[in-house]
Chain A
Amino acid sequence: MSLSDTMTRWRYRAVPDHLVGEILTKRWVDNAIPMLILLAVLAVFGSLIPDFFGSASVTNLARQWGEFGLIVIALMIVMVAGGIDLSVGSTFALGNIVALALISVAEWSVPAVVATTVMCGAAVGLVNGLLVGYLRLRAFLTTLVTLIIVRAIVDMLLLKYSVSIAAAFPDSDLWYFFGEGFLLGAPFSVVVIVTIAVIIHLVLSRSRAGWHILAVGGSRRSAHNVGIPVRRVICSTYVVSGILASLAGVLFASRLGGAGADTGIGLEIAALTAAVLGGNSLGGGRGSAAKAVIGSITVMIIVNSLVRLGVTSGANSLLLGIVLLAAVAIDVRWLKNRHKVLSKVYVSPTYADLPPAPPTSGASPYALNDRLRPVELIGLGRIDGPEDVILDDDDNIYVGDRTGDIVRFFAPDYKRQEVFAHTGGRPLGMAFAKDGSLLVCIGGMGLYRVTMDRRIERLTDETNRSWLSIIDDSRLRLADDLDIALDGRVFFSEATIRYEMHDWPVDCLESRGNGRIVCFDPNTGSTRTVLKNLVFPNGICMTHDGQSFLFAETWGCRISRYWFDGPKKGTVEPVISDLPGYPDNINRASDGTYWVALVGMRTPSVDLAMKMPGFRKRMARRIAPDEWLYPNINTGCVIRFDENGRIIETLWDFGGENHPMITSMREHKGHLYIGGIFNNRIGKLKLDGMDESWTGQTSYWGRT
């Protein structure tokens, strides 16, 4: 191995490229960026302002944040449903003046004041909601106008009551507690906003009403088509927004107790900035209470710190304007390009150095021949993609096909066929259990059982999630082949956890250990992953000792043996590490050896590409998938080998005239039955010198 190869290998071993793509698939990445911005803002202003983290400073900031945060949450709810509410600033001012007027001038009790003020806010929200929701006006302009109108009303109230408000001192401890009190060690307004944020979060993420809101924001037309009352949902978001904004006004009133002409002016811009900065999308469908909270804290700190730094008022709006522009720009570009970026970075090939491929000519055990030429064809043109073939005690053939059926061909001449069961997924590897039921790995679904009376039962479709995996690897994406141990435990391979079934060539492009072998124990009903980081594990076959199984790693071109019991329990040993092609299913042969199908043969170009991850990455990013360099899967062969890895014989159909494309083979009563995932036939080959009474069932379960 040359020095550059070594360096490439270490480079790809040390840097986990694939994590970037996986992180981008997660929903929480939307929150991660605003969170980083928040931390940056904290770091900058924390170092600029002395005593920034002092308790007095933090308490003061937190109390103001309580009010501002409520407004941002109010705006967020409307934005999530695809609208916008610019009147929050005015509603806040209205809440402030109404609360003050009621408590100071009218001298109402505190609960009545809060209730009435909130009703006022709800009324403003209702007007917005009726106009935007039911009359379908443009949200932006409509709420701008209500902003102006409500502001004018506030100004009228101010003219009338500001003097008497300034003169009065409300006689209520509860009122002052709202503004200055602590609950559980936190300022009251913080308790309020945390409670409301939690409630809003639960509603949005867990309740029907919240899902309706998100659905309307995500796609108004689709929401309407599935029967969601779109207009009512939109209207209700504005009402909630009005309620929360006026509640913030109450808190503000109780804290400062004064009504100024500039209360709440420009607040809508700050709130909008906060909401967008937190990652809530303009136009709806994406937003959460957490995003609103993060954004509001960030903007709160920026605005407050600028005041404390003594910067003139212009700088404040300058900075807010820039932040708003940047946040909206990022939001727009991010939403537009996220899937493009993802599709570019998700595929991340790694360095895979395969041992030199043995020759297939001359004295090599893999030498080409025509021994598959005389196969008898079953169901030619009547079956689409039999990945695996299996025969029951009555010699009937079972195969899965591309349309999700398990098809049965009836013995003895196999002219008749019927749909044995319809699975709905892609039936791949099969095995008969001791009780005669058929266990199937179904791509895209998991491990299933078809009983003798054709009932389909799910055995498992998930395994334990690995702690350090970024993508959720608990669901089974591509269960591939299985075999059953004597005690009934089912070991099955999952070829890849990063791709869906139809993307299997892309997994080859990566050639990373994305696959695993999973064990389902019917006695306890549990499913556990037993082996991880395998390179497209495919065929699995129990050895004759009952303590281990052989498994093939397709893109790794090797067959290994894993002991799940006995003295060597838990160890993996290589059996054949330099196959000339890509191994698929493995099955027992009658003389104690094993059959393996090579789905395709290695080519020098692909082998070379495997050592050049950068090349494959560029290929995946820059050219269309149709033009990619794929492994050859058109020509293959069947190999018989023993437990020591010695190749006993190789069966070829040179030129692929009678049976190209092989993924599996099954020996049964002196014949070999051959299937191929892209084939339209089942091959039947008379074997010379093999036990004519041997069947898989007798070999596994001792039945006759």
Chain B
Amino acid sequence: MRALGHLSQEQIVFGLAVLLCIGFAIALPGFLTTNNLLNLVRSVSILGMLGVAMGLVVIGRGIDLSLVALMAVSVAWTLQLVANGVPLHQAVAMGLAFSLVTGTITGCLVAYVEIPAIFATLAMGTLIYGFGRYFLLRLDVVYMPEAARHLLWLGQGTIYGVPVPIFVFAGVCLMGYLFLRYTRAGHYLRAVGDNLLAARITGIPARPVIVMQYVLSSLIGFMAGMVTAASVASMNTRVAISTYVYDVILVVVLGGIGLSGGKGGIRNVIVGTLLIGVLLNGMTIMDIQYTVQNVIKGIILLTAIVIDTIVNPRDEQTAQQGDI
């Protein structure tokens, strides 16, 4: 442990990913082909984007369990609007607006009503799914209509042989990095996540910053949703009640963004995404049963949380009563 003490969690995870890569490359034929590697990155780029969204919230000492539900419902609604004859750009604008408004509501519930983020977003996830299914959508799965053909490029197109989703992922990562590194709002976000009370005392508008986290997360979520829909030419809203959002948390926690907030950055998300991508890809190639994959992912996430707890112990100052 002492020898490992010099390494950050990020470096350890990166090392693990590289080791896994080497292991798979030796053990699995067909793993180390350009095609498979591009495929690998492409398949996790959506997860990575969601990871950036989740990462921003977690750095601000929150958590967004409604991320996937909001993504699914807002994008599915956009597609359905297009299918109903609404012009594409208008439909996208409406879907985005829905997403942002919902994000704002979630943020207000956390910041102003002071519901713990974990419960607010859990309930919002259920609520958004129910709202979408009851009021907005007719079917579980909404297919991409003809009128939205242009969108397909976002998921299936390539630039110089590299799939577009990878570029989108890279763009989102870059924006997230610049936001955290150079903007005042980004600094505020980290300050609020590090120590809410201190941030408030120094005059940072803590509550608006918390709302901003969830708006940002819903914005990135919508982009990730569009890419998802474009990749498979449909949006399955049942993903909202699946365990997909926990994969996103897995990426974030695994990458080394402490759940107690204020720590980590976009690089951690990339590293976490990489490890998960390699893992999922390898398991798929090895043809491991889906349920077993779930167990493995669960155990890895559990281990990640255990390590997170040991590396970032919750001391009695930061651990508050009712902080669960």
Looking at the complex, which one of A266, A282, A316 makes contact with B119 (CB distance below 8 Å)?
A: A282
| Contact yes or no, A333 B113, CB < 8 A | yes
A220 contacts chain B at the CB level, 8 A cutoff: yes
Main SS of the interface on chain A?
helix
Nearest to A319 among chain B residues (CB) is B130
| Contact yes or no, B132 A321, CB < 8 A | no
| Contact yes or no, B291 A152, CB < 8 A | yes
Known: A325-B124, A328-B119. Contact between A155 and B291, CB under 8 A? yes
A139 contacts chain B at the CB level, 8 A cutoff: yes
CA distance A282 to B295 in the complex (A): 28
| Contact yes or no, B124 A321, CB < 8 A | yes
B198 contacts chain A at the CB level, 8 A cutoff: no
Stretch of B5-13, B28-36, B154-162, B301-309 lying at the A interface: B301-309
Stretch of A143-151, A198-206, A440-448 lying at the B interface: A143-151
| Contact yes or no, B114 A336, CB < 8 A | yes
B123 contacts chain A at the CB level, 8 A cutoff: yes
B321 contacts chain A at the CB level, 8 A cutoff: yes
CA distance A100 to B129 in the complex (A): 32
Q: Nearest Cβ distance between residue A300 and chain B, in whole angstroms?
A: 17
| Contact yes or no, A314 B129, CB < 8 A | yes
Q: What size tier do the contact residues of chain B reach?
A: 35 or more
**A146 contacts across to B, CB distance below 8 A:** 298, 302
Nearest to B324 among chain A residues (CB) is A139
**A145 contacts across to B, CB distance below 8 A:** 246, 298, 301-302, 305
| Contact yes or no, B133 A314, CB < 8 A | yes
Total number of residue pairs linking A and B with CB closer than 8 Å: 155
Nearest to B132 among chain A residues (CB) is A314
| Contact yes or no, A136 B314, CB < 8 A | yes
| Contact yes or no, A324 B298, CB < 8 A | no
Bitwise, A209-225 to B at CB < 8 A (1) or not (0) is 00000000001110000
B199 contacts chain A at the CB level, 8 A cutoff: no
B152 contacts chain A at the CB level, 8 A cutoff: no
B118 contacts chain A at the CB level, 8 A cutoff: yes
Looking at the complex, which one of B115, B125, B126, B313 makes contact with A332 (CB distance below 8 Å)?
A: B115
| Contact yes or no, B292 A328, CB < 8 A | no
B100 contacts chain A at the CB level, 8 A cutoff: no
| Contact yes or no, A315 B130, CB < 8 A | yes
**A228 contacts across to B, CB distance below 8 A:** none
Q: Nearest Cβ distance between residue A80 and chain B, in whole angstroms?
A: 12
Contacting residues of chain A (311-342) with chain B, CB-CB under 8 angstroms: 311-322, 324-325, 328-329, 332-333, 336
Nearest to B116 among chain A residues (CB) is A282
Q: Nearest Cβ distance between residue B207 and chain A, in whole angstroms?
A: 15
**B118 contacts across to A, CB distance below 8 A:** 140
Q: Nearest Cβ distance between residue B236 and chain A, in whole angstroms?
A: 15
Looking at the complex, which one of B127, B128, B132, B295 makes contact with A149 (CB distance below 8 Å)?
A: B295
CA distance A332 to B133 in the complex (A): 29
A419 contacts chain B at the CB level, 8 A cutoff: no
Q: Nearest Cβ distance between residue A382 and chain B, in whole angstroms?
A: 46
CA distance A138 to B294 in the complex (A): 20
| Contact yes or no, B321 A82, CB < 8 A | yes
A284 contacts chain B at the CB level, 8 A cutoff: yes
A137 contacts chain B at the CB level, 8 A cutoff: yes
CA distance A164 to B130 in the complex (A): 35
Nearest to B125 among chain A residues (CB) is A321
B202 contacts chain A at the CB level, 8 A cutoff: no
**B151 contacts across to A, CB distance below 8 A:** none
Q: Nearest Cβ distance between residue A267 and chain B, in whole angstroms?
A: 12
Bitwise, A133-177 to B at CB < 8 A (1) or not (0) is 001111111101110110111011001000000000000000000
A113 contacts chain B at the CB level, 8 A cutoff: no
Known: A137-B306, A145-B305, A328-B119. Contact between A317 and B324, CB under 8 A? no
Q: Nearest Cβ distance between residue A680 and chain B, in whole angstroms?
A: 44
**A329 contacts across to B, CB distance below 8 A:** 109, 113, 115
CA distance A153 to B323 in the complex (A): 29
List of 7 A-B pairs having minimum Cβ-Cβ separation, nearest first: A283-B322, A314-B133, A318-B130, A321-B127, A317-B130, A314-B134, A321-B126
Q: Apart from A152-B291, A314-B132, A314-B135, what are 12 other A-B pairs with CB-CB below 8 Å?
A: A82-B324, A135-B309, A137-B306, A137-B309, A142-B302, A152-B294, A219-B321, A221-B316, A317-B133, A318-B126, A318-B133, A322-B123
In the complex, 22 of the A-B residue pairs with CB atoms within 8 angstroms, ordered by the A residue number, are: A82-B322, A83-B324, A131-B306, A136-B313, A145-B302, A148-B297, A149-B295, A151-B294, A152-B298, A155-B291, A156-B289, A156-B295, A220-B321, A282-B322, A282-B324, A284-B321, A314-B129, A314-B134, A318-B130, A321-B127, A325-B109, A332-B114
A residues at B contact (CB < 8 Å)? 82-84, 131, 135-142, 144-146, 148-149, 151-153, 155-156, 159, 219-221, 265-266, 269, 272, 281-284, 311-322, 324-325, 328-329, 332-333, 336
